[in-house]
Amino acid sequence: MKDNTRRQETEERVLQGTAVSRGIGIAPLHVVARGFSAPEVYSITDVDAERERFKEALDITKGQLSALQKRIEAISGEKESRIFEAHLMMLEDKAIVDRVNEAIAERKQNAEFALYAIAQNFLEAMRRVPDPYLRERTADIEDVCQRVLRNFSHEEPRDGAPLDHHILVAYDLTPSDTASMDRRQLQGFATEMGSVNSHTAILARSLGIPAIVGLQGAVLETRALTPAIIDGYSGKLILYPTPETLLHYEALRSEKERVRHRLEAQRNQEAVTTDGRKITLSANIELVKELPYVKHSGARGVGLYRTEFLLLEGEQIPGEESQTKIYTELARSLAPDPVIIRTLDAGGDKLPVEPLLEPEPNPFLGWRGIRVSLDRPAMFKEQLRAILRASAHGKVSVMFPLISGIMELRRAKDLVKESMDELAARDIPFDENIDIGVMIELPSAAIIADLIAPEVDFFSIGTNDLIQYTVAADRVNYRVADLYRPTHPAVIRLIKRTIDAAVQNGIWTGVCGEMAGDLRLTPLLLGLGVEELSVGPHQVPRVRHAIRALSHAECAAMADEALRTPLSRDTLELTSDLAMRYYRELID
């Protein structure tokens, strides 16, 4: 009976999800439970020593939380810092500490795994509580436990550490989880949660990581070390693949690699259409470690540097000097090509700038983007001064996110001027004529683009938010995913309105949202008059090839027809037909 069961467990099995990032990965699975990753587990002999390690990790965490509490209090006041009092109280809860110490002795296992096991049992119980307030507190417990786990130290590596090459299966991943992944080890990831338009999916595409979302029950249905294939084209996770399946996917991966190398060989060619219209093709990045990918891709600089991953990943927000160092490295490395640094874009479905005592009822319409920066002027000016200082070492521009009207823009520009004056008083060099741009990602901004254009040097259309705010469909909510349509007539008309306003005022317009990397939509964007496209470094070669295959005149004629088309699907068909005619091999 056992032999039959074993045979069934190792038979090829296919789990179907939604593909969100192209590519093929072949490797064993590394499975992560809901909430946070399980630490390595190993046997111990000295219980007292292990309990002492636990105590030391608790003490380090308490010190970090106290420092973070003081930092938040200095930035935003005592009220906002109180959340850390609750976190500190958890660390001092004798019942929890005693249970972990008992588990160390009973299990004869390392302290961090004992903490993880106790925490997971407690969290699962809380998730079943009907009280929504108590259920929401699970995030606080997860945060505290993760902090403690990070503060354990080992004298030497232990057996059971994460695999060198693996496919990650998880309940969910945050954008910061995705951004910090080591692309050399990770062959792909599959999650139970997520959507095509979530920030995690966007980052996977940007980093070139094969990814699948919506794989219901994947964590329970898979085991660590299971041989697997992730198909980022069809959305399949294949467990225990047969030799025939392996051969098929190895051949498919080799063919895709040949196409990629052929496109990368064109990296020094300009992104210019067949009838001579030049498009600036740049890269979106989150981390400085992506710079080699930008250079390898042949991108003409960085069209969007998302600073929230720099500012919000650590225990505290880096100060002016730390930020200056990073931004200067970007400017110097990319010179003479430009880098556009977007100021902190936090909140909504992105990373939070600071913990809130009460969750926002509607984060997408709440405290996010430029609103956070304007409410925290001291923090904002630290970032502005750092950007200005970096502008002395290369072509640097500054860009403001989620601008809804003129007054927000002028307040932000006033703070830029104040930051300039402060640097001048300290005899610190900067570019006095630094370009200032705004993200056009709200319908209000697009409608008054003619009023905003005289105030700035460029527009960059953030299509992800522009679409969701225009059609009132949360882009990470699978229930309304079919309403999130890039080719909705209102979206297309707002893009055209923005571009026309820019042209009339002598400034340029780019697109840095996901539409820029969707090859089906490249003909439409070119036809509407976009002058710059900024995409993930791994998408640059494919987009360049698409631009070079197209005629701008033909795209413009198609776009004119699209602007008169009442149905999203018809516009998508118009632009897709053009794309399929000239570069079908990149879309299939």
Q: Which residues are annotated as a binding site for phosphoenolpyruvate?
A: 306, 342, 464-465, 475
Annotated binding-site members: 306, 342, 441, 464-465, 475
User: Peptide bond preceding 454: is omega within 30 degrees of 0, i.e. cis?
Assistant: no
Q: Tell which residue, 198, 184, 549, has the closest CA to residue 348.
A: 198
Q: SS3 sequence, 294-322?
A: HHHHCCCCEEEEECHHHHHCCCCCCCHHH
**Secondary structure of residue 440 in the 3-state scheme:** strand
Rounded to 10°, the helix 568-583/489-504 angle is 70
Q: 11, 238 in Cβ contact below 8 A?
A: no
- Dihedral of CA atoms 127, 129, 135, 141 in degrees, nearest 10, equals -60
Q: Tell which residue, 520, 517, 563, has the closest CA to residue 541.
A: 517
Give burial (CB, 10 Å; 0-12/13-18/19+) of 3: exposed
Active site residue 545: no
Q: Tell which residue, 274, 284, 211, has the closest CA to residue 517.
A: 284
Q: Which of 199, 488, 538, 545 is catalytic?
A: 199
Annotated binding-site members for Mg(2+): 441, 465
Give burial (CB, 10 Å; 0-12/13-18/19+) of 188: buried
CB atoms within 10 A of CB 300: 21
Q: Which of 30, 512, 538, 552 is catalytic?
A: 512
Q: SS3 sequence, 228-252?
A: EEEECCCCEEEECCCHHHHHHHHHH
Active site residue 296: no
Rounded Cα distance, 127 and 425, in Å? 55
Catalytic positions, written as ranges? 199, 512
